[in-house]
Structure 1
């Protein structure tokens, strides 16, 4: 106990609280694992008169399926004594799996000032001013979704705008990529943060824009949500996903609080979808204790992976590049973690048989990750370590992904969201390195498809459309941007079914419609494999089924 005693002999209360919290979460995990999570009541069910795409080569298309005990019981053989639902020709696929999602952040950001699509800094200033009129002095104003690339001048805002308008409330506005934030002086003051401070792995622009690690001092000073708020946000995010046909999300950064809250929601029979969690790599004490307990695997919630961050994003020029940015010749982006620290985390994951999932966007960021991954991963291994985003890859590094059996976790809409400013950001000669989906698949590399919601909309139909067209929703550019990397429809669908299931070690019970597999389904109004591409965007989700339970149904179901 010596380490818990301060100079005057008193116990360090905050450290004790941290230890007790970790013990509580681990005890709860162990309890749930031993006693089985309470299951939803699932009645046997026939779904008939549909076009059901199984992704099973033996029975690629069937007209009916039967569900019992949360699993597929039979295909094309309805049971006469089970409840029957007529699909009326609806198109059915294995449930969409979103392999990169931020479920708590989504729920939380639904409560923030929505800045997506704003056309100028002045428009944002007005929105924040109006919000301030509803708050007491000193209350925080949070917003999300601004993107200076949509403004006429394309530049980061000056500090004067928010400082002159909002003088009584701290303001924290997260950029669309989640890798930078716009603050006012009040936020810096209440956080005791000196804006002239040099932050390793971060930078400060215009005395108000915090990039990557420079965001941490302000975030760490903001009021911490209680468990009720966390559970509310998680449930809101899960319901949002279910309404869009998503049956399972890979939650790409979970704190101990999120882990405890999801387990409680599942135990309360109040979590509609499945979740594959990634423990945040910065929670080192929790990780060490969790590793000692081993992987956690329930039917609705699995926890066997760790998330790390290497670089920032291209939109805020924090993604780490081998060569400087085309529009910022003195900047090659940021590496957010030392090689030694990343190697220590990789070693822990390897020794404890945990999957490591690492955010890397720029080509140098991806090379950095692969340098460490290659130290641990040999050819034909089954560790299934992942690179999250893998947005900008050299040909040499694609070879290294293949050699080490590394999974690329990618989000097609990132390509179509970023393409309009990509040439100015990295130059013509590097454009071919962006979102190399077809090249990766042709090299036998598994891609797990996701959305990075709430950075993007979290709509798998939009992701599917982006993967097969590489255009925006208006069909621009004609033929697709860097069209050599477009995917076929079956390749695109596999990203969000089979590929995502492989990325979570679940390909033997998820990602296909096959007898004995878990009954997770997305029921759609159109056959997205044959209709005109623009009609994909107008396709409705009729229903979402998870473990045989109807967790969402529209007015037609």
Structure 2
């Protein structure tokens, strides 16, 4: 059978080894039908075959973001939300001017991205600065790590929160020394409220989704794992009907793997799995939160933080450990893979215990992959346990360079040595995948690779020589994590993640061979073409 498309290149990276090779990839329909020497592709050439000779441009499997939040990412890039990381509290307040007139006076004004730990004066903000400028309009400022809300008095009123309100388990309403609300809402308390201020019309959601898909394709991204953020009990932010409509209209040019919240009631994920099982849209597993983040001391540690706020300050779990254990065991009994947010070393340790018990009780999963998400620091022996228990580490390299000095302040130099241990994963044979956790960080694909290889900030190259440089990996290893590793996280290694005959035709073309350039040139590398499901969905002008 003649191929529809043949790509010839001097730099094909199949993600099955460490090197590129000169050759060709032939695509027929939505499948790869040939990978090998260029002369071998001639047998697949027909009168209507499009042949592209790419010279030294690099051909690789399409990138796969193994952990992002699709709804939030799309809406936070829309005209209805302003982004501001800011250098100060007031700078973030002033950024709201950009959305003063985009919606009605009673609708939420929303800003996303603030990181008080990165401000010139790294103090926690309060509702006072918001009230001074917007006393009569509800305002919500969502933190860059997506774990904290900063709300004004009108917003608290609209949410129905008073100083006597009781937060959900694992959450907290910030109060000052007089017991008055500060406007800061932490962890599950904030997550439970997200649905109340993230309210948009179906038309607004559709427009934002279409644009976000285009943005993903422009980064060479052909697959994502949509990691549902827990909202109200029994609900999630997975927009399955919107995905289905886009698939029907031919506008879903990324494969979406939906991971709804793991609850005792599995009816929602069971319904999703039964309804969506195409090559482009399916539900391969479940997601839960087990702890928070280090910068707010809500990641759960075995020993207290090095800069403890109070005696015994070692974070906390978002749900009781026994409840998490019961959820993991129930999921295993039904054959469901589970992905658990674990940042602190004790959260990781306990989650591995639960996976070990589930494996011993019910055996290996019939299909799919258990994963831990983020894994920022370890008790040393637990790195090897990932391999022993066949648990994949789903990591986001850009997180590592957001504030490495802050990580060392929180955890101390000894524990910092075991943070984001990519080289150790390679040495021990641990499966691992890369993503961004968008909207926590941008979907920039070259930043993902650059950060993993150099362990330096793409903004200023800090720190010189890389942070914890003993854990650097090669470009080939980073590319495999971002392709084959992510396919494993999605439970689809059989048809995604590598360039092999019979696999689905998802490919990216880069203007440089990343394996042949200095790592600093990764940042100036461009995606020139993205092919998803056999179709060219992005082509650089």
TM-score (norm 1): 0.86
**2:478 aligned with 1:492, yes or no?**
yes
Of 397, 400, 407, the match for 2:385:
400
CA, structure 1 residues 227+349, in 2 after alignment: closer, same or farther (shift >3 Å)? farther
Q: Structure 1 regions of 5+ residues with no counterpart?
A: 1-41
Q: How does 1:509-524 map to 2 (within 5 A)?
A: 509-524=495-510
Give 1:130 deviation, angstroms. Answer: 5.4
The residue number in structure 1 matching 2:114 is: 146
Task: Give 1:106's aligned residue.
Answer: 73
Matched, 1:160 2:160: no
Residue 226 (structure 2) pairs with residue 251 (structure 1): yes
Of residues 288, 304, 308, the one that matches 1:308 is 288
CA distance 1:491–1:289, shift in 2 (3 Å) = closer
Corresponding residue number in structure 2 for 1:225:
200
Q: Deviations over 1:351-388 (max 9, x none)?
A: 22111011111112212322322210249935521001
SS in 2 for 1:433: coil
Q: 2:305 aligns with which of 325, 328, 351?
A: 325
8 Å contact 1:295–1:304 — kept in the other structure?
Answer: no
Counterpart position of 1:363: 345
* Greater mean alpha carbon deviation, residues 190-199 or residues 99-108: 190-199
Hey, what does 1:286 align to over in structure 2?
267
Moved more, 349-358 or 314-323: 314-323
**Partners of 1:478 and 1:142 in 2: CA distance:** 36
Partner of residue 202, structure 1: 171
Q: Take 1:282 and 1:239, find their aligned partners in 2: how far apart are those partners?
A: 33
Distance across 1 between alignment mates of 2:243 and 2:480: 27
Cα deviation digits, residues 382-404 of structure 1 (max 9, x gap): 55210011111111222322221
The reply on whether 1:65 has 2:42 as its aligned counterpart is no
Contact 1:295 1:354 (C-alpha < 8 Å) held by counterparts: no
State the shift of 1:505 in Å. 2.5
Deviates more, 1:525-534 or 1:51-60: 51-60
Per the TM alignment, residue 138 of structure 1 is displaced from its structure 2 partner at its CA by 1.9
SS where residue 402 of structure 2 aligns? helix
Q: CA deviation at 1:59?
A: 9.4
Structure 1 residues 347, 232: closer, same or farther in 2, change over 3 A? farther
Change (3 A) 1:59 1:186: closer
Change (3 A) 1:346 1:230: farther
Match status 1:213 vs 2:188: yes
Is the CA contact (8 Å cut-off) linking 2:220 and 2:508 kept in structure 1?
yes
Are the aligned partners of 2:31 and 2:503 in contact in 1 as well (CA < 8 Å)?
yes
Q: Distance in 2 between matches of 1:133 and 1:56?
A: 51
Match of 1:6 in 2: none
Aligned pairs for 1:467-546 within 5 A: 467-473=452-458, 474-546=460-532
CA–CA distance in structure 1, aligned partners of residues 149 and 428 of structure 2: 38
CA root-mean-square deviation: 2.4
Looking at structure 2, the residues matched to 513 and 221 of structure 1 have their Cα atoms a distance apart, in angstroms, of 43
What is the CA–CA distance in structure 2 between the aligned matches of 1:298 and 1:188, rounded to whole Å? 42
| Alignment length (residue pairs) | 513
